[in-house]
């Protein structure tokens, strides 16, 4: 009996040569490290060295997060990934009324350069790769990072890492937007230009499907809407006068890895193939690095359960294996207790150990693209590719990603799929171990990590001291220069950097831009 994949595509009980009749007439498979990169973006993949092992962390104050980062580095983490609290993500200071109750809860609170100094105290920024999960105010956090590096004596051309900077998916699936889409895309283009000139090794955007998946997107929806967003960003940069090969090699992507291992591997392979063709054929990119879809993966937080949380260790291991078999460039493994609260030190260490077992105890890294030629995976890759291209065509018919967002198309499609999954789970048609089958009569007690609510008051005290000690005239002058740039066509990152250097706060800088660009109000028109 034929089953359906997460995307509603058929999964046959057996595949064979007949399923691939006429397959690969255009060289879809190719060789590893060669166009169209179905088999991976590098010829040797993990046979030379493993993927970058990132651990996403950040909570409470900058000092607490700094201590966690030092622990992760000591345990073998090769890249940091910073989580920011909701007020920071929304461009509000910790003492703003809208920030009340959220300071330090889902990430670290960063209000000014002083917090950023503490966050990276004792961490050599020329020797660590840092990914920052920040979108609407991405430019601010990137500039604060650069300013701290300058204070360490680290030149900008030695900084490596990624700023997520993918605001389009915020309108689709997540909601931490600030400005309307038009000004947000202008700010994205300014970041591209700034980094090309000032921080050449920095990945200027991580175009994210992860959060769409967390909102309920299927694998096909995840890559279709993510790649459509990527196309919109490239068009914006080209329209702003940039040569595609000047910025495209620094683009990166961010996907989820679910427990449905075979479809996830097919998804990653299909996404690489689609992006390579788009960049070469639609945008005329000449540099092979512009054709490569390089991506970070995070295991699926949405699939973790508060019931029997230790079972999440198994889920995360399967998800991580899917990411590695799919050819990810870097990986974050969730901690088993994240469905309950912020991870403890022990659970974060176990999450990292999961990656290390895959890298050093299995034979998966010994060969490139282990599933190449698999009847099932090759057919599923073709199916995912075809379905994703069909959905991307619908976005194009609406005028592209930005226009489709204004119509509410992507959001509505994802919500429909999320509702389908919820109905199937409630009816136990979709088995979730420990939730609707194999439950325990009584759950074992678990003591989660808790964030001290006094953090909010301490951050407010730091802000009051900052405002009392700084040169307010210099701050006002810098913010006026920022507003003038926002009103015109100058790159806003240069005056923004000077405002932050003068100790303007994240909330003040975002507030200055709100005065010029306004704030986004979502539409449910579709």
pLDDT, tens digit (0-9, with 9 covering 90-100), for 276-288? 999 999 999 999 9
Specify the pLDDT at position 14.
Answer: 87
Does position 443 have pLDDT exceeding 90, yes or no?
no
Higher pLDDT, 76 or 518: 518
Q: What is the mean pLDDT of residues 412-424?
A: 97
Q: What is the mean pLDDT of residues 416-440?
A: 96
Q: How does residue 71 score in pLDDT terms, banded at 50, 70 and 90?
A: confident
**Nearest one of 331, 193, 183 to 250, comparing CA atoms:** 193
Q: What is the mean pLDDT of residues 340-364?
A: 93
Is residue 157 situated within a structural domain? yes
Q: How does residue 25 score in pLDDT terms, banded at 50, 70 and 90?
A: low
Q: What is the mean pLDDT of residues 182-210?
A: 96
Three-class DSSP category at 149: helix
Specify the pLDDT at position 416.
Answer: 97
Percent of the chain with pLDDT over 90: 85
Q: How does residue 159 score in pLDDT terms, banded at 50, 70 and 90?
A: very high
Give the burial string for 413-443 (b: 16+ CB within 10 Å, else e). Answer: bbeebbeeeeeeeeeeeeebebbbeeeeeee
Instruction: Give me the sign of the Cα torsion angle 190, 194, 195, 200.
Output: positive
Strand spans (E) along 111-183: 129-133, 161-163
pLDDT digits (tens, 9 = 90+) for 225-273: 999 999 999 999 999 999 999 999 999 999 999 999 999 999 999 999 9
Residue 419 Rama label (left phi>0; alpha psi -120 to 50; beta): alpha
Specify the pLDDT at position 525.
Answer: 53
**Distance of alpha carbon 33 from alpha carbon 49, whole angstroms:** 15
Q: How does residue 26 score in pLDDT terms, banded at 50, 70 and 90?
A: low
Specify the pLDDT at position 266.
Answer: 98
**How many angstroms separate the Cα of 499 from the Cα of each of 169, 444, 508, 511?**
28, 51, 9, 12
Does position 73 have pLDDT exceeding 90, yes or no?
no
Mean pLDDT of the chain: 94
CATH number at residue 147: 3.20.20.240
Is residue 61 situated within a structural domain? yes
Specify the pLDDT at position 77.
Answer: 76
Say if residues 284 and 326 touch (Cβ distance below 8 Å). no
**Distance of alpha carbon 427 from alpha carbon 461, whole angstroms:** 51
Q: How does residue 106 score in pLDDT terms, banded at 50, 70 and 90?
A: confident
Is residue 489 situated within a structural domain? no
Is residue 312 situated within a structural domain? yes
Q: How many CB atoms lie within 10 A of CB 345?
A: 14
Specify the pLDDT at position 344.
Answer: 85
Specify the pLDDT at position 445.
Answer: 81
**Nearest one of 362, 351, 264, 358 to 313, comparing CA atoms:** 351
Q: What's the total number of domains in the chain?
A: 1
Q: What is the mean pLDDT of residues 395-404?
A: 97
Specify the pLDDT at position 1.
Answer: 61
Is residue 461 situated within a structural domain? no
Does position 526 have pLDDT exceeding 70, yes or no?
no
**Distance of alpha carbon 95 from alpha carbon 469, whole angstroms:** 17
Q: Where are the alpha helices (DSSP H) in 430-471?
A: 455-469
Strands 295-299 and 330-332: parallel
Strand spans (E) along 85-189: 129-133, 161-163
Three-class DSSP category at 495: helix
**Distance of alpha carbon 37 from alpha carbon 69, whole angstroms:** 34
Is residue 498 situated within a structural domain? no
Q: What is the mean pLDDT of residues 68-88?
A: 87
H helix or E strand, kind and range, residue 296:
strand 295-299
Residue 35 Rama label (left phi>0; alpha psi -120 to 50; beta): beta
**Distance of alpha carbon 216 from alpha carbon 219, whole angstroms:** 10
Q: How many CB atoms lie within 10 A of CB 389?
A: 17
Does position 442 have pLDDT exceeding 90, yes or no?
no
User: What domain range includes position 53?
Assistant: 3-426
Is residue 478 situated within a structural domain? no
15-29, 134-148, 184-198, 451-465: lowest mean pLDDT where?
A: 15-29
Backbone torsions φ then ψ of 454, nearest 5 degrees: -70, -10
Q: What is the mean pLDDT of residues 62-91?
A: 89
Q: What is the mean pLDDT of residues 58-64?
A: 86
Specify the pLDDT at position 172.
Answer: 95
Specify the pLDDT at position 522.
Answer: 81
Specify the pLDDT at position 425.
Answer: 96
Does position 209 have pLDDT exceeding 80, yes or no?
yes
**Distance of alpha carbon 470 from alpha carbon 493, whole angstroms:** 21
Count, residues in the chain: 526
Is residue 483 situated within a structural domain? no
Instruction: Give me the sign of the Cα torsion angle 393, 398, 402, 405.
Output: negative
Does position 524 have pLDDT exceeding 70, yes or no?
no
């Amino acid at each position: 009996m034929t089953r359906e994949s997460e995307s509603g595509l058929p999964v046959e009980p057996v595949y064979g040569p007949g399923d691939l009749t006429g397959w690969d007439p255009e060289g879809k498979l190719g060789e590893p490290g060669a166009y169209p990169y179905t088999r991976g973006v590098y010829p040797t993949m993990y046979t030379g060295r493993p993927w970058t092992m990132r651990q996403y962390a950040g909570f409470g104050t900058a000092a607490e997060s700094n201590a966690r980062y030092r622990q992760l580095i000591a345990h073998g983490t090769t890249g940091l990934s910073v989580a920011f609290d909701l007020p920071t993500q929304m461009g509000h200071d910790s003492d703003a009324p809208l920030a009340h109750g959220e300071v330090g809860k889902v990430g670290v609170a960063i209000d000014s350069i002083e917090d950023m100094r503490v966050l990276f105290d004792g961490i050599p920024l020329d020797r660590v790769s840092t990914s920052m999960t920040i979108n609407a105010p991405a430019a601010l956090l990137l500039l604060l990072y650069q300013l701290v590096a300058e204070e360490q004596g680290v030149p900008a051309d030695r900084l490596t890492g990624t700023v997520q900077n993918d605001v389009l998916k915020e309108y689709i699936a997540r909601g931490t937007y600030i400005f309307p889409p038009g000004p947000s895309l202008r700010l994205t283009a300014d970041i591209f230009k700034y980094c090309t000139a000032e921080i050449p090794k920095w990945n200027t955007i991580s175009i994210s499907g992860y959060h769409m998946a967390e909102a309920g997107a299927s694998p096909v929806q995840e890559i279709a809407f993510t790649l459509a967003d990527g196309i919109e960003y490239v068009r914006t940069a080209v329209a702003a006068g940039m040569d595609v090969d000047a910025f495209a090699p620094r683009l990166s992507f961010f996907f989820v890895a679910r427990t449905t291992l075979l479809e996830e591997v097919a998804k990653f392979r299909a996404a690489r193939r689609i992006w390579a063709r788009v960049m070469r054929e639609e945008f005329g990119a000449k540099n092979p690095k512009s054709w490569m879809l390089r991506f970070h993966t995070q295991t699926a937080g949405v699939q973790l359960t508060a019931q029997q949380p230790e079972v999440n260790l198994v889920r995360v291991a399967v998800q991580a294996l899917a990411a590695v078999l799919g050819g990810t460039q870097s990986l974050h493994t969730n901690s088993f207790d994240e469905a309950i609260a912020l991870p403890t030190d022990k659970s974060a260490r176990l999450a990292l150990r999961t990656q290390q077992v895959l890298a050093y105890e299995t034979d998966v890294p010994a060969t490139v693209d282990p599933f190449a030629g698999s009847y099932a995976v090759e057919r599923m890759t073709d199916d995912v590719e075809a379905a994703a291209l069909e959905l991307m065509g619908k976005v194009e018919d609406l005028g592209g990603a930005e226009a489709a967002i204004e119509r509410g198309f992507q959001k509505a499609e994802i919500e429909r799929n999320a509702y389908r999954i919820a109905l199937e789970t409630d009816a136990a048609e979709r088995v979730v171990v420990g939730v609707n089958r194999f439950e325990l009569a009584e759950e074992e007690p678990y003591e989660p990590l808790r964030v001290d609510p006094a953090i909010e008051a301490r951050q407010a005290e730091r802000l009051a001291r900052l405002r009392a000690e700084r040169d307010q005239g210099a701050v006002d002058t810098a913010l006026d220069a920022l507003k003038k740039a926002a009103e015109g066509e100058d790159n806003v990152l240069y005056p923004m950097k000077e405002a932050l250097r003068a100790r303007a706060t994240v909330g003040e800088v975002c507030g200055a831009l709100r005065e010029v660009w306004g704030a986004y109000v979502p539409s449910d028109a579709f």
